[in-house]
């Protein structure tokens, strides 16, 4: 399903929706770490979780500079992202990583959209490009680990 996050008409709404998406991602990452058996995979996922927490910190700073409320949690999508992980855990680590890889598709799309969004400042667009690079790296690792 294509996301509309990143296509908002205002910078304020863009930042708020990216924060919600990041909180959803963090919940899925924490669930994944709990369910994975392989310690190397847990370690990699924990590093990726750190990236998402950094994204939240940066987005929260942007929200503060705009004088807007920074969402502190995800939304109903959190149940979808963590639910995929829970179901996949019944089968095994590779399936969990495949589920997480599908979650990354939306996050990548959101940051790609945001990096081109004219409502965002040039500095924010640069941060969004960096976040997109993080998400691309996460997805590539998950795809490779799930295939091995």
- Could you tell me the CATH superfamily of domain 11-66+75-147? Ferritin, core subunit, four-helix bundle (1.20.1260.10)
Classify each residue of 2-21 as buried b or exposed e, where b means 16 or more C-beta atoms within 10 Å of its C-beta.
ebebbbbeebbebbbbbbbb
Q: What is the pLDDT of residues 21-44, one digit of tens each?
A: 999 899 989 988 988 989 999 999
Q: What is the pLDDT of residues 77-106, one digit of tens each?
A: 544 555 454 444 444 578 878 888 888 999
pLDDT of residue 92: 58
Indicate yes or no: pTM above 0.85: yes
Percent of the chain with pLDDT strictly greater than 90: 68
Better pLDDT: 61 or 74: 61
pLDDT of residue 74: 58
The model's confidence at residue 73, banded by pLDDT at 50, 70 and 90, is low
């Amino acid at each position: 399903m294509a996301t509309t996050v990143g296509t908002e008409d205002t910078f304020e709404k863009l930042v708020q929706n990216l924060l919600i998406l990041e909180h959803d991602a963090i919940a899925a990452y924490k669930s994944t770490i709990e369910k994975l058996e392989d310690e190397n995979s847990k370690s990699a996922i924990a590093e990726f979780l750190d990236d998402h927490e950094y994204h939240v910190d940066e987005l929260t700073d942007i929200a503060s500079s705009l004088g807007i409320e920074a969402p502190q949690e995800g939304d109903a999508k959190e149940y979808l992202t963590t639910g995929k992980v829970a179901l996949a855990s019944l089968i095994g680590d590779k399936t969990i990583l495949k589920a997480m890889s599908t979650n990354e598709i939306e996050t990548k799309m959101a940051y790609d959209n945001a990096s081109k969004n004219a409502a965002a400042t040039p500095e924010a667009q640069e941060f969004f490009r960096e976040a997109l690079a993080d998400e691309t790296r996460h997805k590539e690792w998950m795809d490779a680990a799930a295939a091995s």
